[in-house]
Each structure stands twice: as C-alpha cells, then as structure tokens.
Amino acid sequence: MHTTPHAQPQPSARRPEEALAVALTSPNSSARLQAAMTAGSRPRAEYVEVLVARSGVEPDFSVRETLTWALTQHPVDDVLPRVLEELRSAVPRAVAQALHTVSKLGDERAWPAITHAHLHSPDDEIARTAWRAAAAVAPESAHHALAVELARELGRGDIDTMRSLSRALATLGEAAAGPVSAAAALRGGDAAVASHAGATERLIADPDAAFAFDPADAARYARAFSATSGN
C-alpha cells in the first residue's frame, strides 16, 4: 500500500519586529540605515522596543539619527515611556541617545526624568544632550530654575560644548539672561566663564546669530586655555 509522506513542517515566518532586529544588526551601515528608515515609514508598536534598544548601541551617527527619526514617527505615548527608561541605563551612549530622542519628541512629560546628574554629567555627550533636551521640554515655569543650573556649566569644555550650552540657554530666552549674568559675576576671574557668558548673552539677545566670542574675549580665552593646557 502506497502512503503519502507527511509534509515537513515549515519554519514559522519571522514576526516584523524580529526581522527588524535582525536587519539592524547587519554589518553594513547602509543596510541598517535602510531598515531604520523602513521602520519609520511603516510604524508598528512592536518596533518601538527594537528601535530604542538599537539606539543605545548603534555605532554609526547617521544610523542613530535615523533611529531617532523612526521613533518620532510612532505615537509618542508608545515611545516616551520606553525612552525614559533608557535615561537610567548604565551605558553612556544609551543615555545620550535617549536624551537626544527626548529633545526631538519635545514632550513636557519628560521633564521630571531629566535629572541633576544628567545636566552636570562628567560625560560631555550626556551633558550636551541633557542641556538640549531639558531646554526643549521644560515647562515655562521651570525655565528660570533650569537656566540657573545650566549657567553653572559656563566655561566648560571645548568650543562645541560651549556652543551647545549657549544654544540651550538661548532657547530659554529672557529667563536665562539673569542667571548667565549672575554666574559670570560670581566667577568673574575665570576667563573661560567670562568669554562664554558674553557669547551666550549675545545669543540670548539674538538667537539667530552665530555663536562667537567677542575678539577681546577670544584672545583672553586663548591665553587662559594655553596656560591650562601647558602650551
């Protein structure tokens, strides 16, 4: 008697979020970028976890930017709670990228999750993204207090770090003018602080202007930097 062989069971197809996770681990950065773009173009709630998790470990800047863009294409109520969890991560890149995503979402509900530790982190990338995120989501009633905290960082870091801080303070507008002046007066003997405060005050007055030191301030800052670096 002839019997028909039983058909072999077929492996189940990957779920969309599993396929996305695999695509985002491709060794080819262009393939990862395309996967992130596709996830943003066709949002699914199941993608949020995959996109956030990858954001914290993705080495390529362009891909990280696209992952953030993809997250902003999903409903904020799906994205925000998961992104805020990342602010407690022990991985600096994950924290910085989550803060960057918070700044793009612009939702005031994120404000309580941005802590003193973020704003004054010794990690420049975390601090810069925290300044930007805080300025983007702080309610108006908190602008003055935030400006006081940010003004404590005047004079910190290289030109890019200084520019990031000044832009965040300028975002707060007139609420930042008093704290910047007060911080400059309190630490008036510090050339970097004085130069940075002056540049910030000009940016607050004209947010569309380029960040730049006054020529006299620039010369003073250069001398101070040279002295501290031993050159």
pLDDT at 4 over 60: no
Q: For residue 94, is pLDDT > 80? A: yes
Burial (0-12, 13-18, 19+ Cβ within 10 Å), 49: middle
Q: What phi and psi values does residue 24 have, to the nearest 5 degrees?
A: -80, -5
Taking only the tens place, the pLDDT of each residue in 154-176 is 999 999 999 999 999 999 999 99
| Distance of alpha carbon 64 from alpha carbon 60, whole angstroms | 6
* Alpha-carbon distance values, 200 to 83, 91, 113, 184, 223 (Å): 30, 31, 26, 11, 20
Give the chain's length. Answer: 231
Q: Quick check: 10 pLDDT over 50? A: no
Lowest mean pLDDT among 59-68, 143-152, 184-193: 184-193
Residue 160: which of 207, 201, 222, 211 has the closest Cα? 211
- Based on DSSP, count helices (H) and strands (E) in the chain, helices before strands: 13, 0
* pTM, full prediction: 0.85
CA distances from 195 to 169, 225, 227 (A): 15, 12, 16
pLDDT band at 219 (very low <50, low <70, confident <90, very high): low
Helix, coil or strand: residue 27: coil
Percent of the chain surpassing pLDDT 90: 77
Q: Which two tokens stand for residue 122?
A: 């010794």
CA distances from residue 23 to 10, 13, 18, 121 in whole angstroms, order as listed: 22, 15, 9, 33
Residue 152 banded pLDDT, cuts 50, 70, 90: very high
In order of their start, the domains of the chain are 17-137 (1.25.10.10), 143-231 (no CATH)
Out of 67-71, 182-186, 194-198, 225-229, the most confident range is 67-71
